[in-house]
Amino acid sequence: MSARSIAPDLSSLEVPWDAWGEPFWQATAEHKLLMPRCADCGTFRWPPGPFCPECQSQKVAWVPPGQGRIYSFTVLPVPGDKDAAPRYRVPVLVEFEQAKGVRLVSALIDAPLDGIAIGDAVEVEWLTAANASVPVFRLPSS
């Protein structure tokens, strides 16, 4: 059986946000993943910021981004006790079917290390940080 990626311990992480990112973290508190889309021209932007890079509008609509898929990923050994079983983190870059042009980088948790591929569908999972609910991802079958 192949090793599986761990979930990071984020319990002491204080997530900082500014006015433009606040709606994202308000939504995650309710376990909803929303992404910012320009309310004038429909272009997504990431990270959340004051202007649309396409039309420079400041109007934003926060919308569900649709199905996430793996755009790329890497596997990192976690430093630790040499005698203990090795542990791995998997940073994953996710793109969304209904939020073209932006990607969210997060952790892929509980995934078999030899069973991850670019293009795989992923589901959102929630981890608890000191002051926020944090979206991470998992493979549906795992």
Contact call for residue 91 and other proteins (CB under 8 A):
yes
> Which one of the spans 17-25, 26-34, 35-43, 56-64 is the region binding other proteins (CB under 8 A)?
17-25
Which residue, 29, 8, 2, is CA-closest to 137?
8
Contact call for residue 41 and other proteins (CB under 8 A):
no
Q: Evaluate the CA torsion angle 111, 115, 118, 122 in order and state its sign.
A: negative
- Minimum CB separation of residue 112 from other proteins in Å reads 14
**Could you say which of 1, 12, 30, 77 contacts other proteins (CB under 8 A)?**
77
SS (H, E, C) 36-69: EEECCCCCECCCCCCCCCCCCCCCEEEECCCCEE
Contact call for residue 62 and other proteins (CB under 8 A):
no
Contact call for residue 121 and other proteins (CB under 8 A):
no
